[in-house]
Amino acid sequence: MSASPPNRRPLIAGNWKMYKTGAEAAAYIEQLKLLLPSNLEADVALAPSFTALESALMAAGDSPILIAAQNVFWEDEGAYTGEVSVPMLNGLGVEWVIIGHSERRQYFGETDETVNRRVIAALAGGLNPIVCIGETLEQREANQTFQVLTAQLKEGLAEVDNRAAQSLTIAYEPIWAIGTGRTATTEIAQEAHRVIRDELERIFNKELANYIRILYGGSVKPENAAALLAQPDIDGALVGGASLKPDVFYGIINF
Ligand code: PEP
């Protein structure tokens, strides 16, 4: 396991997407708890569907496993059928939330503006957002990657003040690497993470840029986790497919 700056202990987060009922989530977490050593060297989070959050929290109990929601709406309450608010997550005891995942952007019309509204509301309600950004294959091939990433950060994090920014985590997820089995090379990932950290410095300041964790996501598996996480600006992983089985996910946690 590589040494990270003390404030950037690795965070390995599993995004279960639309998989697992409450009972399946609880059974998984019971198995993962048995695998986790007492001297765990990474923070571990799991993001079940809304319907499995309560059983996941109960199964996680006082273990180090953090539970995250996969999305949150910006209004506290109102006529917004199908949405879930920050106070609702607070009421369950959920402290983490993924915002702006590329699947939300691709299939559900998320934009940097709606991402920003969710981020602002989540931070105001004391949640720790994991804000996802990343370029499409077309954007990468047109040499627009860095422009896209900096715009997503500028717009997605607009009006976030420096104090609240301490609760942020960024996930760099190149869309062409999500669920495709195609992982960014360590060089490509590190280069993008460096660009992201430089932009965080412009938006906030150097201290915060060095403090905020930047996770890599896109076909992370036990076989490629160590090389990715050895990069100086990669502080963890957001894992989709390989988080669905506890033993495989543990292979990444134990990179
Ligand atoms: C994700 O859903 O955030 C993700 C990175 O998926 P996968 O690991 O399956 O590519």
DSSP assignments along 160-198, one per residue: --HHHHTT-EEEE--GGGTTSS-PPPHHHHHHHHHHHHH
Does 8 map to a domain?
A: no
Any domain includes 4: no
Task: With respect to residue 239, please indicate whether it lies within any of the assigned structural domains.
Answer: yes
Q: Domain with 183 in it: what CATH number?
A: 3.20.20.70
- Closest atom of ligand 1 to CA, residue 239: 8
- Helices 22-35 and 53-60, axial angle in degrees (round to 10): 30
Domain that holds residue 64: 14-253
Give me ligand 1 centre to Cα 217, in Å. 6
Q: In the chain, how many domains are there?
A: 1
Question: Atom 3, ligand 1: which residue's CA is nearest?
Answer: 240
Residue 204 covered by a domain: yes
Q: Is residue 206 part of a domain?
A: yes
Instruction: Say whether pTM exceeds 0.85.
Output: yes
Ligand 1 atom with least separation from CA of 101: 3
- DSSP symbols for 82-99: T--BHHHHHHHT--EEEE
Please report whether residue 7 resides in a domain. Answer: no
The gap between the terminal CA atoms of the chain, to the nearest Å, is 6
The answer to whether residue 108 is domain-embedded is yes
Ligand 1 centre to CA of 64 (Å) is 22
Angle between helices 22-35 and 246-253 (to 10 degrees): 50
Confidence at residue 2, expressed as pLDDT on a 0 to 100 scale: 42
* CB contact burial 231-248 (16+ within 10 A = b; e otherwise): bebbbbbbbbbbbbebee
Residue 32, in any domain of the structure: yes
Q: What is the pLDDT along the chain (255 residues), one digit of tens a residue?
A: 444 555 799 999 999 999 999 999 999 999 999 999 999 999 999 999 999 999 999 999 999 999 999 999 999 999 999 999 999 999 999 999 999 999 999 999 999 999 999 999 999 999 999 999 999 999 999 999 999 999 999 999 999 999 999 999 999 999 999 988 888 899 999 999 999 999 999 999 999 999 999 999 999 999 999 999 999 999 999 999 999 999 999 999 999
